[in-house]
Every structure is written in structure tokens, then in C-alpha cells.
A and B are shown apart, each in its own frame.
Chain A
Amino acid sequence: MEKYIFYILSVIIIVFAVASVSSRKMLRSVIYLLFVLCGIAGIYFLIDYNFLAAIQLTVYAGGIIVLIIFSVLLVHHIEMELEIAKPFRKMMTGLICLLGLGVFLYTIYNNEFNVVENQVTTTTYDIGAKLLSYESGGFILPFEVISVLLLASMIGAIVIAKGRKLNDKNDEAL
């Protein structure tokens, strides 16, 4: 049963990913990306990482997609069609990507993975304890650094998107 669910999820992911990079309407391509992200959340549920699936749904599907939709609506007319690359360029890029994919798959299928058969369930408690432990192998320092990074990027985004002062300076320089 899980097997078929995985196959369905991977078909959904790949089809919508292709649609998302080839659709000519901006808003549709964002919505296709939303389907891809939900499919990936489904894979997390399948391999029993419920916490990660919840993060994927809230941060990606809830946050990033909404941000991108905002920027699309602020920047584009909804009906505007995107410029497409030249067919030759598309074909060359597709060929290079297929070549790279071949190299990847060759390497993966020639590698012996020491797969451990297991049914371990990871609880949110374990993840939280690992994130906040300051013993060896703990992740308290990167956890703090990432919070500073989030604060810095929030302030930076506000300052950049305001943009009034930058304009004045440019006018003076001109």
C-alpha cells in the first residue's frame, strides 16, 4: 500500500515540477510549485518524520508560497505571458541536464548503500532535545546562529523593500 502511495506522490512531484518550470503564466507556475511542496510533505509523512512534514507545510506551503504570490501580484499583470527561451537553448539545456542526471543515476546505482532495516519513530521530543543540547553532538550553537540570521534577514528585507533612501542617494549621485 505504502509503495503505491509513494509512486503516486513521485509522479505528482515530477509532473508538477516540470509544469512549474515550463508554464508560461507566472501565477500558475507558483501554484504548481505548491503542489510539488505538498507532495514532498507527503513523502516526509511516509518515512515517519511528522515534525518535518509539518514544518514543510507551514514554512514552505504557508510562508514561502504566499511571499512569492505576493511578489507576483505586486510585480506582474496576472495575464502577462512570460518570455520563453530560444528552442535551441532549451534543447541544449535539456541535453546537459539529462547528461548530468545520467551521471548522478550511474553513481547512485553503482554505490552500495548499507541500508539498515528499521522501524524507528522519531518524536518531536528527540529533535527538540538534540537541537537544544550543548553536549558534544548537540546543535545549540547553529540553532542560535540561525535565529540571528532570521532576524538579520527580516531587518534586511524591510530595509531593502522600503528603498526610499537608496533612491535619494542615487539621485544625488546622478
Chain B
Amino acid sequence: MIAGISIYEILTVTSILFFIGIYGFITRKNLISVLISIELILNASVVNFVVINKYLYPDMLQGVIFSIFIIAVAAAETALAVSIIINLYRQISSVEVKDTEIMKY
């Protein structure tokens, strides 16, 4: 636990981080920026897991282990997304969302 900090304050920070991520996800027009926003959202949820584990159930480890799994899945997802973006750039020379029509059908 952090001395003098209640769980409410940490959850407030992570909620703000989550919605900044959603804002970026909706307003950005570039595939890499969308990827960055997804990282923000995932990080907010990971911090939530860890904080709730630490403050409410300090004797258990489930939150920590789930956050390790989330980080692993995020790494796998980023690697795949980057490879898709590079392949897309080779085929249509653009990474804007509005030009990405190849995989629609």
C-alpha cells in the first residue's frame, strides 16, 4: 500500500488514463496512433488489476498473475499489429485508417 493514498485516488487516475486512451482511439486517423491508444487502455486496466489486488486482497496473487498475462497478450498483439501495418504499407503505401480497404471483404 502507498502510505496516505486511498484506493479511490489510484482508481481515479487509471479511469482518466483509460478515457484518454478511448479519446485517442476514436479521434486518431493513423493506424500506429490507434495502436498507441490501445496500449494506454491496456495499461490502465493492468494498473487496476494490481491495485485492487494490493488493497483488497493482499494475501492473494491473482491480480498480479493476470496482469502478467495481460502484458504478454499485449506484447503479442503489438508484434502482430506492427507486422500487419508494415505489410499494408508495402501494398497500399499508406497507414491511414480511411485507405485501409483491402481486408474488408
Chain A, 94-124, CB within 8 A of any chain B CB: 94, 97-98, 100-101, 104-105, 108-109, 113-120, 122
Contact across chains for B39 and A33 when beta carbons are under 8 A apart: yes
Minimum CB–CB distance for B22 against chain A, Å: 6
Chain A, 135-174, CB within 8 A of any chain B CB: 139, 142, 146, 149-150, 153-154, 156-158, 160-161, 163, 166-167, 170
Contact across chains for A68 and B78 when beta carbons are under 8 A apart: yes
Minimum CB–CB distance for B77 against chain A, Å: 8
Chain A residues lying within 8 Å of B10, measured Cβ to Cβ, are 6, 43
Q: Is B101 an interface residue (CB 8 A)?
A: no
Chain B residues lying within 8 Å of A117, measured Cβ to Cβ, are 1
Chain B, 65-81, CB within 8 A of any chain A CB: 65, 67-69, 71-80
Q: Is A78 an interface residue (CB 8 A)?
A: no
Contact across chains for A49 and B82 when beta carbons are under 8 A apart: no
Minimum CB–CB distance for A42 against chain B, Å: 11
Contact of A33 (CB < 8 Å), options: B9, B36, B84, B96: B36
Minimum CB–CB distance for B12 against chain A, Å: 6
Contact of A52 (CB < 8 Å), options: B2, B3, B64, B76: B64
A60 to B5, CA, bound (A): 26
Contact across chains for A37 and B43 when beta carbons are under 8 A apart: yes
Q: Which of chain A's residues has its CB closest to B67's CB?
A: A52
Chain A residues lying within 8 Å of B90, measured Cβ to Cβ, are 163
A38 to B17, CA, bound (A): 14
Contact across chains for A115 and B29 when beta carbons are under 8 A apart: no
Chain B residues lying within 8 Å of A20, measured Cβ to Cβ, are 24, 36, 40
CB within 8 Å for A47 and B1 given contacts A82-B30, A157-B79: yes
Minimum CB–CB distance for A68 against chain B, Å: 7
A142 to B66, CA, bound (A): 10
